[in-house]
Structure 1
Amino acid sequence: MTFEDTPASAGTERPGDTGAMAGRTVARVGYGAMQLDRLRGDRDAAVALLRHAFDRGVDHVDTAQFYGDGFVNDVIRQALRPGDDVLVVSKVGATSDPGAPIPLRLAQRPHELRAETEANLAALGVERIEVMNLRRVDAGITIPVPDDQVVDLDDQLAEMIALRDEGKIGAIGLSSVTLDVLRRALPAGVVCVQNVHSLVARDDEDVLRCCTDEQIAWVPYFPLGGALPGLAKVTDEPAVLAAAQHLGCTPAQVALAWLLHRAPNVLLIPGTADPGHLDANLAAGSIVLDEETLAALDAIPARPLAAPLG
């Protein structure tokens, strides 16, 4: 696999410059759509937020059918217009469980991966999803895994490859995986990896290095830490606060800029339901960190992802 350039879409400059995924050139700062569900009571505002992102040069949107029990995908479908050159990336491996304390449950079996793919296609109103991530449970924040959801990677990859061969998905990504799982999956043609990664969560540096070596897009989620009670927050770190003051930006922007400085294959998908916050996230793509600032940030101690989910 190589990061071959494809013609950039005309118009607004892309936030964070450009990177690559699945043979396409995309903005290095995209948009994670999960928080659109916070605008469930105002669909017009949700659509307008996405349109604002597209107008600002965002051309990479991350979603899932289990985000808001389909609401988020429905908003994306409504927001996209003919001619929009937006890479929509979704994921399978879980499904909606409305009413549960955590409103999703694992769906790791091959037939469940297929069913969730079909649900994504129907909700988005497309015949193919360009990149589909297989969300595993090998790494990151731990969750209870029922016995019937312990599924061999090879069985899952066989189903994902079948979906790709049928044209229902364009390329395969992985999420929440270890280095061993990534290496086992490489022959399937992995185009991106989504793992928990931030200044305070660096358990998977080896996975990042492998992705960089293999020219696979590295798409960190929970980039600010603190996703759950008990987990460290990047924006609480004194070195981050000092860097923000020095640069005249917010601590969150420092955290995002640090990730972009890690490697050229890093693509960000920060999420928000607020237009001003969206603009601030995109502006982080223009922040340059000097060597002294990078050294101070790199010295922040990482913490293990010890908080269980569920």
Structure 2
Amino acid sequence: MLGDLSVNRIGLGAMRLTGSGAFDLGEPGDRDVAVKVLRRAVELGVNHIDTGSFYFSRLRSANELINTALSPYPEDLVIVTKVGPGRDPSGEWYTATPDQLRGQVEENLRQLGRDHLDVVNLRRMSQDSISEDFGALADLRDAGLIRHLGVSSVRAKHLAEAQAIAPVVCVQNQFSLDVRRNSELLRSCGEQGIAFVPFYAIAGEGRDEGARANGGESAHVRDIAKAHGVSPAQVRLAWTLQQGRHVLAIPGTGNPVHLEENVAAGALHLTADDMDLLQATGS
């Protein structure tokens, strides 16, 4: 659950729909393929898409691809976007002030063709306190532009700050088999009934460069994947989902084959022995 919105646990991250250069204005992805991926995702039961107005490369915008492919939107589709970071038309990054957050929300509304946003995550940058920023979003929620609020890249103290202002339905932090520094926050979210939504669940330490960019896949992951007849990426997603019923996954891809594999990972159950072996992997 994201507030009162029910989503399937495997969603889709939209960043890679724009091409491999989503953060550096590199070569755009194929528009027709991106539209095909989005429509196929919905056919496969994906009803949770994670996006942002700053997901764009040269000639491609994730939000506009979503609008083209899926509008008029299915009634059960939940589109989650984020604000805080921003990029001007040349691609230069900036961190939004509280006064600029409304403009970012309205930009997402325009690009997606919506009159309100289902969920907006405040993506913390380097600020020590998020109270002023989250308060600005709470005002937009009260004004009807946003249905639910979440936070991203936060620590426990930031979550508490936000909760003192308005309900928080999700926390979106980096978490994967390799990078588990947010394990305690994941556990705490489960206790509080808050969805925990990891990013880079497949890529791990590779982050924007992709899965295992810093080296080969671990032997444990390869062995378990072989035993189940699946890919290492599917093992990583299954491991992520087995961290708790409140944990969602939003693997990003612009590849139709990878999309099918990612969705199929939702049906993969790792055994207790598998989980014990994987426990030895990561940091």
TM > 0.5 between the two?
yes
The question of whether the paired residues in 2 share the 8 Å contact of 1:108 and 1:136 is answered with no
TM-score normalised by L of structure 1: 0.82
Q: What amino acid is aligned across from residue 45 of structure 2 in structure 1?
A: G
Equivalent-residue separation in structure 2 for 1:50 and 1:135 (angstroms): 24
Q: For residue 96 of structure 2, give the secondary structure of its aligned residue in structure 1.
A: coil
Provide Cα deviations, 1:244-301, integer angstroms capped at 9, x if missing partner.
1111111110000000000000111001111011000001100011111111111213
Equivalent-residue separation in structure 1 for 2:182 and 2:254 (angstroms): 29
Q: For residue 7 of structure 2, give the secondary structure of its aligned residue in structure 1.
A: strand
Residue among 147, 171, 181 paired with 2:158: 181
Equivalent-residue separation in structure 2 for 1:234 and 1:116 (angstroms): 37
Equivalent-residue separation in structure 1 for 2:18 and 2:12 (angstroms): 14
Q: What amino acid is aligned across from residue 182 of structure 1 in structure 2?
A: L
Which residue does 2:22 correspond to in 1? none
Residue among 170, 174, 185 paired with 1:207: 185
- Once the two structures are superposed, the pairs formed by residues 1-20 of structure 1 within 5 Å of their partners are 20=1
Q: For residue 253 of structure 2, give the secondary structure of its aligned residue in structure 1.
A: coil
Which residue does 2:268 correspond to in 1? 287
Which residue does 2:17 correspond to in 1? 36
Residue among 172, 175, 182 paired with 1:194: 172
Provide Cα deviations, 1:121-165, integer angstroms capped at 9, x if missing partner.
11111110010000002xxxxxxx5xxxx4742111210110100
Provide Cα deviations, 1:216-265, integer angstroms capped at 9, x if missing partner.
11110011211157987696111111111111111110000000000000
Which residue does 1:87 correspond to in 2? 78
Which residue does 1:142 correspond to in 2? none
Which residue does 1:223 correspond to in 2? 201
Q: For residue 27 of structure 1, give the secondary structure of its aligned residue in structure 2.
A: coil
Q: For residue 91 of structure 1, give the secondary structure of its aligned residue in structure 2.
A: strand
Equivalent-residue separation in structure 1 for 2:30 and 2:271 (angstroms): 42
Paired-residue identity, %: 40
Where has structure 1 moved over 2 Å in runs of 4 or more?
A: 39-45, 228-235
Equivalent-residue separation in structure 2 for 1:278 and 1:167 (angstroms): 33
Structure 1 residue ranges without an equivalent (≥5):
1-19, 138-144, 303-310
Which residue does 1:78 correspond to in 2? 68
Q: What amino acid is aligned across from residue 263 of structure 1 in structure 2?
A: G
The question of whether the paired residues in 2 share the 8 Å contact of 1:95 and 1:106 is answered with yes
- Once the two structures are superposed, the pairs formed by residues 133-212 of structure 1 within 5 Å of their partners are 133-137=121-125, 150=127, 152-187=129-164, 188-212=166-190
Q: What amino acid is aligned across from residue 132 of structure 2 in structure 1?
A: D
